[in-house]
Amino acid sequence: MSQNTQTNNKRIAQNTLYLYLRMFISLALSLVTGRVVLQTLGVEDYGINAVVGGVIGMFGVIQVCMIGATSRFITYELGRGDRKRLQDTFSTTLTLHIIIAIILFVIFETVGLWMVNYKLVIPEGRMFAANCVYQFSIISLMLGVTQTPYSSAIVAHEKMDIYAYFDILNTVLKLVIIYLLLIGNMDKLILYGLLTFCVSTLIMVLNRIYCLRHFPETHYHFIWDKSLIKPIFAFSGWDIMGNVAVMARGEGITILINLFFGAAFNAAAGIANTVTNAVGGFSTNLIMAIKPQIIKRYADGEYEAMIKLAHEGTILSFILMTFLTIPLMSEIHFVLNLWLGMVPDYACVFTNLVLLFSVIGCLGSIVMNIVHATGRIKKTSLTNGTIYILVLPITYAAYKLGAPVWVPFAYNAFALFVGTMCNIYYMTSYIPQLKTWDYFKQTVLPCVMLFVVVGLPVLLLHYYLEEGLGRFVLSIFVTVFLTSLISYKFLIEEDLRKKALLKIKMKFGLL
């Protein structure tokens, strides 16, 4: 192994540790804040915040995608080492994001405002509060869009420690929000929206200050270079199509649930998303640490190293996801009741379906990173965008016919699986060194088999033992034991097993 490869692997390991530190602290504090917010706001106001303030949550998904698109170009130029072009690339992406922010502002202050006031089901007397939350969301949206290039720069430079510190600060400040929410005398929903907006704005400002001080290319200068704009605009244009479909898949479902079932069911969906975002961090942290190296290795033409890294990253992230999701899915009622004290109707069903969605997404995240590295995203955006956005007409028709409220969540999981299989095919057609069946056999199939083999005995425990702490602990033990055993024997490659075993022996002084 070359010295450069060792350095890169060490950087990936360090960045992953930083991201996991961020996740553990954020998860612990989120468990506290989630329960208090639900109890303080009540189910109805919690649901209103989920559907009206969902613009922020919706943009959270879009922003991840936009960061991915922007960081692709910044990371690619970092890999090439052309500092002048790197600075021009950053300024060009920021100009484009300013334009996007203005367009979104017009859309949300016209069509969006009409939707909130005339179409959403808002309990009587809460329309003013709903509009306040909506306006806070729009301003956050504007700032968030223009923040994207700066966040992309942090990711591209692999400064995951800084990324982690900002996220931990954000979570700590949410505790301050809870305290102020409890002692505040004004309308709780309006106060919560205002304080959340202030915290997100502060974090964005600190992000920009850090970037301006440490990354010279982030000093903006207006540039309209067609040789830069054309590839960025083409890439972003196709990526935005996929992002719009993701937005429809998320916020569109929230609106349909509100129209047909009311705000209380939005509260259940909000709880499901909170749980899934926390759990998803266990796998996405590893993927986020790997992504810059995948793009840089593609830019350098190191295809074999990129493929190996993608395979190992997918396997390891799926193992981490299996550790968490199987006991959580089997004991979701016990966990939600222990956490919240009050479990809204359908919260368990929603959470399990969204967790299944996250498990499937884990198989395709690094695949999309490779596709992004190539810059050829037209086919993937068209395919995924079409599959994802179909959830709206299908859900609307299903609800009209009296279908249960969980239908769109089941469709999303199915659509993601189909989209992931399509993405694997596109990826292998762009990288000649990759074969579709080989990737499926070596990476996807072992992950699926792991989930099934570990899940079956845990499912049996669920049906034959009474719900309680004992069954929950036993489910965790069985999952950890079987996942560790199967992964070590069959999923993790021999050289990686030897390295892990060597480190363990050195750690405990056995060598």
Query: In this predicted model, what pLDDT tens digit does every residue of 414-448 receive, in sequence order?
Result: 998 999 999 999 998 888 888 888 888 889 999 99
Q: What pLDDT score does 217 carry?
A: 87
Query: In this predicted model, what pLDDT tens digit does every residue of 102-161 receive, in sequence order?
Result: 887 888 888 878 877 877 777 778 888 888 888 888 888 888 888 888 888 887 787 777
Distance CA 26, CA 203 (A): 15
Distance CA 421, CA 51 (A): 31
Q: What pLDDT score does 17 carry?
A: 61
pTM, full prediction:
0.69
Please compute, for residue 126, the number of CA atoms within 13 A of its CA located in the half-sphere on the CB side: 22
Asked if 134 and 52 touch (Cβ cutoff 8 Å), the reply is: yes
- Residues of the chain scoring pLDDT < 50: 1
Q: What pLDDT score does 1 carry?
A: 46
Cβ-Cβ contacts under 8 Å for 7 (sequence gap 6 or more): none
Distance CA 490, CA 239 (A): 36
